[in-house]
Chain A
Amino acid sequence: MSAVAAARPAAVPPAPEAPARRFSLLKPLTWLVVVLVVAITVIPMIFVIEGGFRSTAQINASPVGLPHPWVWSNYTSVLFSSAFWRFLFNSAFIAVVATAGAVGFGSMAAFALSRIEFRGREAIYTFFTIGLLFPIGVASLPLYLLLQRIHMLDNLFGVAIPEAAFSLSITIVILRPFMRAIPAEIEDAAVVDGATRLKFFARILLPLSRPALVTVAILAFVFSWNNYLLAYIVFTSPSHFTLPLGVATFQTQYSQDTARIFAFTALSMVPALGFFVLAERRIVAGLSGSLKG
């Protein structure tokens, strides 16, 4: 980082960009690019959503086109199917457990790795970063056998816990610099007040790390929510399926009912997008905090 940036106190919030009128010449071009980007991003999603309002016969007859007439039964049949809501619940439950595990244990480990001096610290940190290099799918067979031996197969925890483990790496990698960046003076003050290291961690460090914690929580949640291969291997009984598994399975099972696949896929986008809407601000804030550190 340049010396200029280093001189700035970390607490100053970055000001927004200068008023747009200075770049008025580029404005039409900007808007064109924006429209193009939005179109390319959004059209596939709209395609799926409106496809759900057509019947399979309509789709077979003309792959592209507006619903004529509008068919509600695809969406209603998915919404009223207990399967969809069960998938949703399973995904949510697993994601919450995986996130709690990754963030909980990860923040504890990141604290130890960032603010406690001990031998072998860098080695353990490097140890954790190895996890970034090992995609979860590659570990599938050994993981399956391990889960089977500890009787966690066809069990929601059998997916949640490995997911937490695989999220530990990115959690620690993001949290460590952030926690390091918290001024030593704050810790000194806490110690003088008689706080133990653990109390400092729980009462002061964690609240201060909130932006980064939210970021890693979101990353762990999204990773878990979208996971396909692990769920596919661990779950046999459909009552345990998660949403991505449901989408892919639905696609092969009802492969003939294209319209229903559209409706199912569209509905499965809703939780992810809704979650993102709520979390969007935090992601940016959290990432900027950890990147600065």
Chain B
Amino acid sequence: MRSIRNGAVLAVAAATALTLAACGSSSSGGAGSGSASNSGASAVTLTWWNNATADPLKGVWASVAGSYHTAHPKVAFQIDPIQNEQFTTKIPLALQSGSPPDIYQQWGGGQEATQVKSGKVMNITKLVAPWIGQLGSAAEGWQVNGQQYGIPYDLHMVGFWYRKDLFSKAGIASPPATMTELNADVTKLKAAHIVPIAVGSKDRWPDAFWWEYFALRDCSSTVLKASMKAINLSNPCFLKAGEDLQAFMKTKPFQPGFLGTASQQGAGSSAGMVANGKAAMELQGDWDPGVMSALSTDKSLNSKLGWFPFPAVTGGAGAPTTLLGGGDGFSCTTGATAACADFLKYIDSAPVQKKLVGANVGLPANPAAASALTDPTLRQILAYSHASPYIQNYFDIAFPTNVGQAVDNAVADFFAGQGTPQTIITTVNQAASTS
């Protein structure tokens, strides 16, 4: 008798807990936080998750939200800046929940495709159709199966950032155009006791840039596009990419202890090294000068920095002017109102794009704002991107997330001396088979 009663205590407790856990399953997919019906007639507050945790971009977004609110008094914003790295954790959690943010940072590609599976990302194809053509082919990066699920607000290209002063010190007259020249430059820099290339291997994705660029040089754009679509790296050009990378790494071009170096944090990071003149080059996106300026007290740093594209590789099937790049953008979630898509249009409008350019976000998504670019190096990069026949999205964004992470991990392991060029391919293909 007693045991049954005590069992009843347990059962009640367990039942309560299970009920608490199970209840609310009917309340999924409710309206976005604070937003009213889609009539647009009542006031709406859009929650906005972006990665601008610091100025100047933080201030720019605040003023953009403010001007939009002035023009559309019924739409207010609640901006929650989130650290870049934390987005990978926060987004799946938010999209699982019943109240994800209305607008959130979106890098497009296969990562976006993975998120779309949640059913919570808004299909804005019809809403943006009138104006999306302005952005040109860049908008494709934010499509999933031909449908628009997000828009870019800036674009980035990856290339070499180098110290002109250190190059002249080592007796290098001009940036290298081929791998042979790059190898020669590495030798010259070492002879001048300068670390040739800094890499932030701790973060893994800077390593991936290297392998991906070799893939871009060794594989034709046809093969690249097909492989991205099939999520398969079986083409032998990818193996050649790994072998070329291996040969390059044998020349020991990187800083000592590169495995533990972060890419952007602190003066000891790879960006910090170049910023403080401790290394001569870094393969990074166009955000790098912005990062560097905060890591050094050198006021004339910008004048010492130059840019050159990834060199041509002998015997490579890829066009030597192919670029690796990506961009930042935003997506709306299904609970948000149409005001969200309208706000995205505002962000891609020329005036706002010019403001963003002024805040050094990178290259504008809207070509109409190109004239606002004052920095000569950025203009150089923009011109180069227009001349490039094909821009490949970073693999860890182009692929579904688990495959993308497999690429980063496999290449990082390779940098640490684990595995062969074939291992990279096998690992990625294996991850693809489960996605």
- In their complex, do chains A and B touch, with some C-beta pair under 8 Å? yes
Residues of A within 8 A of B (CB): 56-57, 59-60, 118-120, 124, 141, 144-146, 148-151, 153, 232-233, 236-238, 249, 251-258
- Shortest distance in angstroms between A255's beta carbon and chain B's nearest beta carbon? 4
Set of chain A residues within 8 Å of B264, measured between Cβ atoms: 255
The 9 closest A-B pairs by CB, nearest first: A256-B294, A255-B265, A149-B24, A60-B267, A119-B3, A148-B97, A57-B297, A253-B53, A120-B6
B177 within 8 A of A: no
Q: Which B251-273 residues sit within 8 Å CB-CB of chain A?
A: 264-267, 269, 272
Q: Mark B1-14, 1 if CB is under 8 A from A, else 0.
A: 01100110010000
Write out the residue numbers on chain A whose beta carbons fall within 8 Å of the beta carbon of B272: 60
Tell me the complex Cα distance, A166–B431, Å: 35
Q: Verify if B342 is at the interface (C-beta below 8 Å from A).
A: no
Residue of A with least CB distance to B53:
A253
Chain A residues with Cβ below 8 Å from B53 are 253
Q: Is B295 an interface residue (CB 8 A)?
A: yes
Task: Write 21 A-B pairs (CB below 8 A) sorted by A numbering.
Answer: A56-B267, A60-B267, A118-B6, A119-B2, A141-B93, A144-B93, A146-B21, A148-B96, A148-B98, A148-B99, A149-B27, A150-B20, A232-B89, A233-B93, A238-B81, A252-B83, A252-B85, A252-B265, A253-B53, A255-B265, A256-B294
Contact present for A233 and B98 (CB under 8 Å) = no
Interface of A is mostly: helix
Q: Which residues of A contact B24 (CB under 8 A)?
A: 149-151
- Identity of the chain A residue whose Cβ is nearest the Cβ of B21 in the assembled complex: A146
> Is residue B276 contacting chain A, with contact meaning CB distance below 8 A?
yes
B6 near A258: Cβ-Cβ < 8 Å: no
Minimum distance in angstroms from B21 CB to a CB of chain A: 5
Encoded as 1 (CB less than 8 Å from any A CB) or 0, chain B from 225 to 269 comes to 000000000000000000000000000000000000000111101
- Interface membership of B434, Cβ < 8 A: no
A182 to B424 alpha-carbon distance, docked (Å):
64
Given contacts A118-B2, A146-B21, A149-B21, contact A236 B80 (CB under 8 A): yes
The distance in angstroms between the C-alpha atoms of A258 and B265, with both chains bound, is: 9
Q: Beyond the given A60-B297, A236-B82, could you list 10 further A-B residue pairs with CB under 8 A, ordered by the A residue number?
A: A60-B276, A120-B10, A124-B10, A145-B96, A148-B98, A149-B27, A236-B90, A252-B85, A255-B265, A255-B269
| Closest B residue, CB atoms, query A117 | B2
**Residues on A with beta carbons closer than 8 Å to the beta carbon of B82:** 236
- Residues from chain B with a CB closer than 8 A to the CB of A258 are 266-267
